[in-house]
Amino acid sequence: MSARLTYLDWNATAPILPEVAAAMADWLARCGNASSVHRAGRAARQAVEAARHEVAALAGAPADHVTFTGSGTEANQMVLAGISGRRLVSALEHDSLRAGPEIELIPARRDGTIDLAALEKMTEMGDSPALVSVMFANNETGITQPVAEAARLAHRSGALYHTDAVQAAGKLELRGVGADLVTLSAHKIGGPQGVGALIAPPDLTLSPLVRGGGQERGRRAGTENVAGLVGFGIAARRAAERAGDAAAIAALRDEAERRLCAIAPDARIFGADAPRVANTLCIAMPRVPAATQVMALDLAGVMVSAGAACSSGKLRRSPVLEAMGVPPELADCAIRISLGWSTSAADIDHLVEAWGALYVRTKVHAA
């Protein structure tokens, strides 16, 4: 096993920022319920509201549009469970949106973007939809979706428009995409795990998932995670400040792509001809199962994933690649490499060395 460790699974979770960890440690040492009226409670409330303003600024929304949740998954489920009627959801979505009851899937094109023509027809068929949900940036391929156009079609039919921006936050501008509801998650931007947010107008009626208290303006009951929310607020501010990092990260991603394809001319890059966020590379090593690649790279000290890292550690065929029409034998060989603000040229060297060594071994054994 390699002594050097290279973390290239940022889309699963980003390393927590040192300033986030320090601020959270400070708040974990304090006592105070944000719903209490004494001075400790008021201090906690002030910290929660300061974090709300930071998250709102990242989303380009008013602070009273922010409802804090326990995760991006919970925020997505709040949308599905809270809005009744026809719900049209992209076939490329994260499992937390594909899991809703009685949803209609919007087909995908082979390039990994949604089929806008199909969406338009779906909005014109049957009853008018109540909700259209299309994610901003795909968690597996990094492909960005035509969110503004999808919003236009949703609004033309009278539907609310939701976008899961978990993978887009800090990488793409969230303002001006026309979304009525937006999902965010702290741990994708250097904040703590177990904290998320739903951005939605306060006058929009949403049936709460968690009842029994008046917290979060009645949208989500339960004592606020003050330390976690403080961390979320700091991470949101830092994400906005790092917007200029995208070009350098894209250069590292493109260098990795170029060198991996030079080693393996038969490799397949998913999303190569579509717009992508700067940090994501989804690549298939033909005839080598993704599980084999993930384990071999891990033994070499390089941490990547096979598709989404949200299925209790299970490796399974990607529904995203399936929706794109990728043949099963190729989809089963796809891994996701995702970079972040601390990724270095040396990390790319390590990846290329480990992946190249595996490719050579498989060719030797095949021969």
SS3 at position 196: strand
Scanning the structure block, which residue is given the tokens 């021969």? 367
For residue 315, what pLDDT band results from cuts at 50, 70 and 90?
low
The long-range contacts involving 244-251, CB below 8 angstroms and separated by at least 24 positions, are 245/341, 246/171, 246/277, 246/278, 247/278, 249/278, 249/279, 249/339, 249/340, 249/341, 249/343, 250/278, 250/279
Q: Which of 295, 290, 280 is nearest to 343 (CA)?
A: 280
Whether the CB-CB separation of 194 and 70 falls below 8 Å is answered with: yes
Structural domains of the chain in order of their starting residue, each with its CATH number: 6-15+244-366 (3.90.1150.10), 18-241 (3.40.640.10)
| pLDDT tens-digit series, residues 59-100 | 999 999 999 999 999 999 999 989 989 999 999 998 877 766
Other residues' Cβ atoms within 10 Å of the Cβ of residue 358: 22
Neighbours of 259 (CB within 10 A): 16
Q: How far is CA 19 from CA 26, 86, 191, 284, 292, in A?
A: 11, 43, 10, 37, 37
Mean pLDDT, the chain, whole residue set: 93
Q: Which two tokens stand for residue 132?
A: 């259209």
pLDDT at position 331 over 90? yes
Identify the pLDDT of residue 94: 84
In the three-class reduction of DSSP (H, G, I as helix; E, B as strand; rest coil), residue 5 is classed as coil
pLDDT in tens, 133-160: 999 999 999 999 999 999 999 999 999 9
**Residues of the chain with pLDDT > 90: what percent?**
83
- Report yes or no: 114 and 108 within 8 Å, Cβ to Cβ: yes
Q: How far is CA 68 from CA 51, 134, 160, 340, in A?
A: 10, 21, 20, 25
Query: Residue 34 has what pLDDT?
Result: 94
Pairs from 96-103 (Cβ < 8 Å, separation ≥ 24) = 96/72, 96/164, 96/310, 97/133, 97/135, 97/164, 98/319
Mean pLDDT of 171-198: 96
Q: What are phi and psi of 54, to 5 degrees?
A: -65, -45
Q: Which of 31, 261, 282, 310 is catalytic?
A: 310
Q: For residues 126 and 312, which has the higher predicted lDDT (pLDDT)?
A: 126
Predicted confidence at residue 98, as pLDDT, reads 72
Of the listed ranges 102-106, 198-202, 315-319, the one predicted with least confidence: 315-319
Please give the pLDDT value at position 364: 60
Place of tokens 């300033």: 19
pLDDT of 217 strictly over 60: yes
DSSP 104-164: EEEPB-TTSSB-HHHHHHHHHSSSPPSEEE--SB-TTT-BBP-HHHHHHHHHHTT-EEEEE
Contact predicate 343/249, CB 8 Å: yes
Number of Cβ within a 10 Å radius of residue 229: 28
**Amino acid letter, residue 139:** N
- Write down the pLDDT at residue 312: 39
Evaluated on CA atoms 196, 184, 139, 154, the torsion sign reads positive
310 is catalytic: yes
Kindly report the pTM of this predicted structure.
0.93
Residue 113 pLDDT exceeds 80: yes
Per residue in 257-310, pLDDT (tens digit) is 999 999 999 999 999 989 999 999 999 999 999 999 999 999 999 999 996 554
State the average pLDDT over residues 4-16: 97
Say whether pLDDT at 349 is over 90: yes
